[in-house]
Structure 1
Amino acid sequence: MTTRIDCDSCLVRGLACHDCMVTVLLGPPPELTFDDDERRALEALADGGLVPPLRLVEPVAGPVVESA
């Protein structure tokens, strides 16, 4: 499984960029893709306090409401 990071779709872009691991490591890119090994490595770095945690917040589809 891969984790795709698209800063353009992050719901907290601008609010949390200053201490997001993506910004710290690479600057604010339009989109990144990490595989499972890379994601685990970044989580280990964040857990150890070496980089900030990933602050990506992705939108979730809301419930579908049908009219009566």
Structure 2
Amino acid sequence: MITEKDPENWRDLHDWCAQILQECGWEAKTEIKVELVRGKAEIDVFAVENVMGRKYKIAVECKN
């Protein structure tokens, strides 16, 4: 997804980022809540890819 448009809001930015990762073969989700050692956090975009049995993960914090 290549675009010259600007996102209208933060939700568009999250969705576009997830869409780009999905087009590259990643399984991507938006607004994921995770449990951390020091509490909970919300990740804007979280993506996972499996390559030859090895799992790769990306956490994205979007700023518009």
Q: Relative contact order (alpha carbons < 8 A, sep ≥ 6): 1 or 2 greater? A: 1
Whichever structure has more strand as a proportion of its residues is: 2
TM-score, reference length from structure 2: 0.32
TM-score, reference length from structure 1: 0.30
